[in-house]
Amino acid sequence: MRRAFFVVVAATVLVVTTGTTAGAQAQSRDEAAPRRTDAAPTSRQLPTSSPFLGGVPSGTATAEPIALTVLEAIRRALEHNLGVLMSDDSIGRARGARMRAMSEWLPNVSGRLSESRQVLNLAAYGFPLPAGIPSIVGPFNLFDARLYVSQTVFDQRALKDLQVENHNISAATFTAKSARDTVVLVAANAYLVALAASARVDSARAQATTAEALYSQATNLKQNGLVAGIDVLRAEVALNTERQHVTATVNDFEKSKLQLARIIGLPLGQPFTLVSELPDVPIPDLTIEEALDRAYRARPDYQAALARVAAAQAQRDATAGEAMPSVRVNADYGELGLTPGSAHSTYAIVGALNVPIFQGGRTRGRVTEAEADLKSRRAEAEDLRASIYYDVRTAFMDLQSSNEQLQVATRGREVAATALTQARDRFAAGVSNNVEVIQAQAAVSIASEQYIGALYQYNVSKALLARGLGAAEDVVRQLLGGAR
């Protein structure tokens, strides 16, 4: 049965669970039978340590399996995936850094309340006293209650530091959006890889059923004296191979479900089923030039790279500002006296102009470091721009190629099914032995796998193009019928 798979993957991140088949499958077939390729299409994989492959389990597991749709999987991933949670935390850190930079421009107010008992030596402070008058004064009490205020009037470094943190917040926000896009793609891909594994289970079981029917047919024909015993043995070998294949595909399917559960943060041990009714995804009606223009404007990772360039530029200016004069005003007001009851109001206002004269090359060294960082951020942004160009062009080429492969695989599956029917009829009529039937059955299995792989790759190509254009979260929700 034809299944519609909508597979969504990141351009640089694709999680593909590859089916592991029984090692003895090809060897156990008759030498004349073609070998079957059971591995799913592979692509670049995330490292096992990637936070996008992890999730924070939430909720309590229930004994009753839940029906999990792809939209529900995406929703849970956006709430519980470790990559999203960490990217949200980075925004919080950027905002905290901006608050610290802003504090340089806000009044700094503090208070102090003290009471002390002192004995002073006036001579030590340079007060010569006539002979006979003791220089020791005290003991006496001193009470002081005071507010202190400090305000920056002009500081080139502090101004640029604030601009740096504003750009850092923009970069963190775009990075978080890119992380959400990536999580959407990874979660949807993991869900649909599980669907592909389920399709392989169905295909393997169908092949096992066919092999069992062929074995029964060969046994009956042998009992009637129409075929030799070797035909029964061939059919039994084919049946055992298909049963092994069913076991392997079921195991792969269960492992792909475990991977999906981890990515979306399902409660530990929560059973679930997949809802496989998914719409086909239309190909975007865009030229390459239109796609590139849209990608440069919409890709959050590219916008984050540009924000990091602006932050590096501001950081270089802030470092250079350390050599510029700064103006600050300091003031205090309070009550001073021997006791609280005898205290009098006092205050002081100080305006200070600080002019750096010689810093031993420290500022020049830091400016050199900041210029090197700026050069690196610009190079990274240009590299990412080039990567977007190649991603989009490659996606267009893969889309055309995989579409043609899907058409061929669809026709090949139909032809293989017809050939198997004819081979069984010829065997039943005694025209040929079941070597032809075993070959035809293997061809059906290969054609089924090629169809699943071609359909998968076709949807991967469409998904890579959507990812290259940016705004994957909104696009996926819209295409799958969910709320934007």
Q: How confident is residue 331, by pLDDT bands cut at 50, 70 and 90?
A: very high
Q: Is 273 helix (H, G, I), strand (E, B) or coil?
A: strand
Tell me what pLDDT residue 33 has. Answer: 37
Asked whether the predicted pLDDT for residue 16 surpasses 60, the reply is no
Residue 21 has pLDDT above 70, yes or no: no
Single-letter amino acid, residue 419: A
* Cα–Cα distance, 303 to 357 (Å, whole number): 40
Select from 259, 232, 93 the least CA-distant residue to 168: 93
Crossing angle between the packed helical segments 156-223 and 300-320, to the nearest 10 degrees: 150
Residues 65, 269 contacting (CB under 8 angstroms): no
* Topology at the third CATH level for domain 51-121+136-479: Outer membrane efflux proteins (OEP) (1.20.1600)
Q: Is the pLDDT of residue 483 over 50?
A: no
User: What digits encode the pLDDT tens for the residues 344-380?
Assistant: 899 999 998 888 888 778 888 888 888 899 999 999 9
Q: Does the pLDDT value for residue 330 go beyond 70?
A: yes
Predicted local distance difference test score (pLDDT) of residue 479: 54
Q: What is the pLDDT of residues 218-264, one digit of tens each?
A: 888 888 877 778 888 888 898 899 899 999 999 999 999 999 999 99
Question: Does residue 30 or residue 173 have the better pLDDT?
Answer: 173
pLDDT of residue 475: 65
- 209 band by pLDDT with thresholds 50, 70 and 90: confident
Q: What is the pLDDT of residue 441?
A: 78
Residue 223: per-residue pLDDT: 84
In this prediction, residue 24 carries a pLDDT of 35
Residues 280-293 have a mean pLDDT of 76
66-90: average pLDDT: 89
- For 396-451, the pLDDT digits (tens) are 888 888 888 888 988 998 898 898 888 878 877 777 767 787 788 788 888 888 88
End-to-end CA distance of the chain, in Å?
31
State the pLDDT at residue 284.
Answer: 66
| pLDDT value of residue 169 | 92
Residues of the chain with pLDDT > 70, as a percent, come to 85
- Predicted confidence (pLDDT) per residue in 53-77, tens digit: 888 998 888 899 988 888 888 889 9
pLDDT at 305: 93
Neighbours of 52 (CB within 10 A): 24
Q: Which residues contact 83 (CB under 8 A, 6 or more apart)?
A: 50, 51, 52, 54, 179, 182, 183, 186
With a cut of 50, say whether residue 9 has pLDDT above it.
Answer: no
Q: Are 385 and 377 in contact (CB under 8 A)?
A: no
pLDDT above 50: residue 30: no
How does the average pLDDT of the chain come out, rounded? 80
101 has pLDDT over 80:
yes
Per-residue H/E/C for 175-243? HHHHHHHHHHHHHHHHHHHHHHHHHHHHHHHHHHHHHHHHHHHHHHHHHCCCCCHHHHHHHHHHHHHHH
What's the rounded mean pLDDT across residues 129-136? Answer: 79
pLDDT band at 480 (very low <50, low <70, confident <90, very high): low
Task: List Cα–Cα distances, 182 to 12, 72, 188, 305, 476, in angstroms.
Answer: 9, 16, 10, 16, 11
Strand partners, 206: none
One-letter amino acid at 397 equals M
Q: Measured between alpha carbons, how far is 64 from 269 in angstroms, rounded to an integer? A: 11
Domain locations along the chain: 51-121+136-479
